[in-house]
A and B are shown apart, each in its own frame.
Chain A
């Protein structure tokens, strides 16, 4: 029973565990989280009121009930949500049978595990701070009860902090050098169902309008050197080529013939940090000429990754704003396709331009839009009729980018100019402090490309004809009903904007340098350090060898530091001293302690009192206090001792 944990240690354990569990609890449904929290609170109240633990049967029943509830909620006990819920429940239940140090040790380990698992919830900077605080709390309470003392001294928290500080170089070293695999080591059973936002692979009326209300970040970009003008920042996403009368879709069939693209003029070099989403699209500027591994350029000049961006990913890209392409005829023919019927007014309008040259047809259409008193709105009327393009162009005259882009391509195709819709993002918000651009979901945009035989694909943005402000001043300055936008997208107080940008810059740097540090960047770093030609298995081997060597070196150093003095060094000096005493006429008795002997000797040799006392002191300290300095002093003193003969 003496193993029982003092009540204050138990409170500290419960508190530290709650810290470790909190991020997980926040991911659970509130009723389940509250139910789980109730268990530790109950346990703490039992301690407070000095009550006994619940009986074993009650504990089992509680455990089964909680697990059943978890199963009922998640339909599984494994996977990310179910598994975490089960772990959290079991940790809470374990508290109910915890009264001794052994249980507390198990729970402390589980607490460390849970705090490591926090990064499954989020890899944000806040989470790192919270995990560190949790580690300090866990270590503090661990030290408190390991000392078998009920007193919590401030120095325990300090020692925990100091241990953390001492571990920091190791953390950094492991972060930089621990072999990173280019793919995930195992695939986490991911829960689907969280509504995903972002660009969709079908452009239907309203799909961009909905995004305009979403102020969450899509990606952040930092340019190497001068950033291009914001009005040319068209971040290219999916290309929509097929029109079914209502929706625009991508074509996934490849004609087998690749377009050729020629980049001319200066290039832009930039690094994008993509927020996770379910797509594999990397939103590059036209025209990417260099891109990282595990990504490719499609025949529609869209940059895509080999796998969906389920994690934040940093990509370095070089683009050439000046370019022209040569397309196979099949592709151009496809970009003239229209449904067989529908939208007669639009077709009639386009027919009027057929006598003009292709560039003139494009200009005419833009001119027509500019003169048509169209308005740019987040809440355009629905177009449920059979001829949505006609209704937009001739009746409602109110729409958002996807409406105008679709209508423009319709007109161009009807006029015999190959054209297609391009989805993506336009512009972004510059963060002056962090020197990067934040592109939000709300910056999603749709524009068009028309094919001019001598110049290739030309970007035409019909929105520019209707709401020119959208291109260079952003959404809030261009739509007619800006009040519907979320706060950050409208006009903010300058100080608030500064604060928000400052914080976003911190997040950006964290994501860029910590989260974005992947296998490829590790390779680059190591290459710069002169470790190249890494076959990764060999690297892992060398790394393991290095770690083992360091650990072994540390162990040897520790042993060397705490080594006992040479077993008999003090004794040899002492025996030499006894011999000198003997010659001086004083013999030691077998059971006589050094102090007693010296007392007797000083009685006989009062002139040597100081020297003899010092020798006794040094001998005791060297032999029994294992004091190296005393040993050295003892040797010197015994060697230099000259005794006169006792009377």
Chain B
């Protein structure tokens, strides 16, 4: 059951109390080289979690507070004319980092949101016809408030699809909340965090996780789940192939975190809601229908 990232999980659980499952999912998402979307009410610890992940993994971190007047150039960088040399020089924006915390991403206008598209998918940024590679690894951890709040621009489906997982933290449990109230402040705690792994360990973990065996019956199950979403009367559209690829990768990462060399149906069920929840939009409301995604797991037989 032991793996090189166990210290990472332990430390994260010390900072964010009582949230083992979302934390494990977040780490699995990063192992699967995916981006994370943390969605919950203000004040439940989204930003703290993002910050703690970056600090614990020992990655370079930058944070951008998305606001309604944030422009793409504020994020990506801008070419500035330099009088001395007589040419334009590109000034790198905050996106050139390893973990980008896009805080309250749904407060920025769609133009700025989609500026992130290329960075997330291609790990590169194109400005003024020039392409700049981003550092590796590159993760976006975005937080957003629930969409019924005032002054938000809901992320378009294309943008949502690029987030491997959407996680909710929820209110803490009684004990955990009490510990939080009596203990040290969370922000101070984050500031003191020491890296619990280096980049080589992370890269190796990612490589090993991607080599976990997925037997044909399990792929049958994953495809059966996808087929169920695509023919379901409650969803406007089913899971995309990209989502399935992400599902397979996350399943492997989950199995790896469990210390196995092969994936089993539990792994699929564990990661499925986080992967499918934000992608399956309700036909009726046009909003993500996370509950229906969970219900699918009970109805689709495991072959």
Q: A residues engaging B (CB < 8 A)?
A: 1-2, 4, 147-151, 564, 567, 571, 589-596, 620-621, 623-626
Contacts and interface: CB of A to CB of B under 8 A. Distances in A.
12 contacts: A1-B123, A2-B123, A4-B133, A567-B216, A590-B299, A590-B302, A591-B298, A591-B302, A592-B302, A593-B264, A594-B266, A624-B214
Contacts of B300: 590-591
A149 B213 contact: no
Interface in B285-303: 296-302
A95 B153 CA distance: 49
B214 to A, nearest CB: 8
Interface in B236-276: 260-266, 269
Given A1-B131, A591-B301, A624-B263, A149 B203 contact: yes
Given A149-B207, A151-B200, A623-B217, A593 B266 contact: yes
A148 B217 contact: no
B107 to A, nearest CB: 31
B191 interface: no
A4 B136 CA distance: 12
Interface of B: 123-124, 131, 133, 136, 200, 203-204, 207, 213-218, 260-266, 269, 296-302
Contact of A626 (B124, B213, B301): B213
Contact of B217 (A2, A571, A590, A592): A571
Contacts of A620: 264
B260 A625 contact: yes
Contacts of B216: 564, 567
Nearest to B265: A593
Contacts of A567: 216
B248 to A, nearest CB: 13
Contacts of B207: 147-149
B266 to A, nearest CB: 5
Given A591-B296, A594-B265, A624-B218, 9 more contacts: A567-B216, A590-B300, A590-B302, A591-B301, A593-B266, A594-B302, A623-B217, A625-B261, A625-B262
A240 B17 CA distance: 105
Contact of A590 (B214, B263, B298): B298
Nearest to A620: B264
Contacts of B200: 150-151
B10 to A, nearest CB: 24
Given A590-B298, A593-B269, A623 B133 contact: no
A150 B200 CA distance: 8
Given A2-B123, A589-B298, A590-B300, A626 B266 contact: no
Contact of B215 (A150, A592, A595, A626): A626
B266 A625 contact: no
Contacts of A2: 123, 136
A624 B302 contact: no
Nearest to A616: B264
A593 B215 contact: no
A521 B216 CA distance: 54
Nearest to B262: A625
A626 B262 contact: yes
Contact of B213 (A4, A148, A594, A625): A625
B150 to A, nearest CB: 38
Nearest to B225: A591
A473 B108 CA distance: 101
Nearest to A594: B265
Q: What 10 pairs across the A-B complex have the smallest Cβ distances? A: A625-B262, A590-B301, A591-B298, A624-B215, A593-B265, A620-B264, A624-B264, A593-B266, A1-B133, A624-B262
Nearest to B215: A624
Contacts of B133: 1, 4
A4 B133 CA distance: 11
Contacts of B203: 149-151
Most chain B beta-carbon contacts within 10 A, residue among A1, A147, A564: A1
B215 to A, nearest CB: 4
Nearest to A590: B301
B301 A624 contact: no
Contact of B124 (A1, A592, A595, A621): A1
A571 B215 CA distance: 13
A150 B266 CA distance: 33
A160 B213 CA distance: 26
B283 to A, nearest CB: 22
A590 B228 CA distance: 14
Given A1-B124, A149-B203, A594-B265, A624 B298 contact: no
Contacts of B136: 2
Contacts of B269: 591, 593
A162 B134 CA distance: 38
Given A1-B124, A149-B204, A594-B265, A623 B215 contact: yes
Contacts of A623: 215, 217
A591 B260 contact: no
A167 B269 CA distance: 46
Contact of B297 (A148, A564, A591, A624): A591
Given A149-B203, A623-B217, A624-B218, A595 B302 contact: no
Contacts of B131: 1
B210 to A, nearest CB: 10
A620 B267 CA distance: 12
For A149, A590, A624, the residue with the greatest tally of chain B CB atoms inside 10 Å of its CB is: A624
A471 to B, nearest CB: 74
Contacts of A595: 264, 266
